[in-house]
Each structure stands twice: as structure tokens, then as C-alpha cells.
Amino acid sequence: MNLKSKIREIPNFPIKGISFKDITPLLQDKKAFGLTIDRLAKSYLKNKPDIIVGIDARGFLLSSAVAYKLKRGLAIIRKKGKLPYRKIWKKYILEYTTNILEVHKDAIKSGEKILIIDDILATGGTIKATIDLIEKLGGKIIGIVFLIELDYLKGRRKLKGYPIHSLIHYKQ
């Protein structure tokens, strides 16, 4: 099945010049969604992480299903103001704005093997901030998996030294 055919592109959203990749058609298709989760989890069926990390917000949809498939717990990275307990935070830059990510201080234990899952790799700002938070808590990243990678934005350059896998690539 061609998963890319299940991604709807919305031009000029959220701002002019950005082509939003809408994953809701993929999520609505039970076969495509199941295949997506199977493919995201595939490389980690034997070398399982201790915990899966999902990133706010669409990353939660994918990471929770992979955590279930791998029978692992889920830690979440949220946008500022969404977590009620003791937390650490990191400011980062997106293609068109800045933001702050937070994680609970007890979400990851030092030495735990971490698999990060998110919906999209664009410029790499969000994932780099996530990596910084995980490493500050002592987590050891064994993999980073994306549904979509926008190759033309070269976000992978910020992630040297980490094993990365993306299911769908957009060259331009």
C-alpha cells in the first residue's frame, strides 16, 4: 500500500508558503493506519526500547499505538502549559515561529533506552528540543522514527549520530 497517497496536502496552511501534510485520511483508513503502526514498530520488535516518547500533538496518535504494539510505556513531550507536574522545558524554533516543549521530570529514568516517534521531520527544531530534554533526564536514544520527512528542509542535519527512519519522504 502506498501510504503517501493517504496524506492530504493543504497549501498555505498554517501560513502562506507552508504546505501542511494532513495525516487524518491515513488515520481514518484502518488498513493504512495499521500498516503505518506496523512499519513504525518493525525495527524495534527485537531491540525494544524501555519507553516510547511521543511529541505533541500528532506524534501522540502514532507513538501511543506503537507503545501498545511493543508493550511499552509512553512518555509525552507537550507544548508549554499542558503538563501539571514538575517539569523541565526547552525553547526551540520552527519554520515559522518559536515554541517551548516540556516534559515531566519523572517521565524518563536515567539510562532508559528511548524510542522517539513523531509525525513529521521538517527543519528539525522540535525533534532537537525533544532530544535535549530526553538527554537532560538521562535517557539513551536508540531510535527516532517519523511518519513523514520533508527532505528539502534538511532537518536530518540537526540529528547526526542518531538512528533515524522515516516512512514517507517528500523531496520538494
Count how many residues are written for the chain: 172
Whether 122 and 146 have beta carbons less than 8 Å apart is answered as no
H-helix or E-strand spanning residue 99: strand 98-104
Residue 43 cell numbers, joined: 525495527
d(CA 47, CA 24): 30
User: From the candidates 8, 72, 78, 95, which is the catalytic residue?
Assistant: 95
d(CA 167, CA 39): 8
d(CA 25, CA 27): 5
Running DSSP on this structure, what letter comes out for residue 137? Answer: T
Active-site annotation holds for 78: no
Q: Diameter of the chain by CA atoms? A: 43
Active-site annotation holds for 58: yes
d(CA 35, CA 40): 9
User: From the candidates 8, 9, 39, 58, which is the catalytic residue?
Assistant: 58
- Catalytic positions are 58, 95
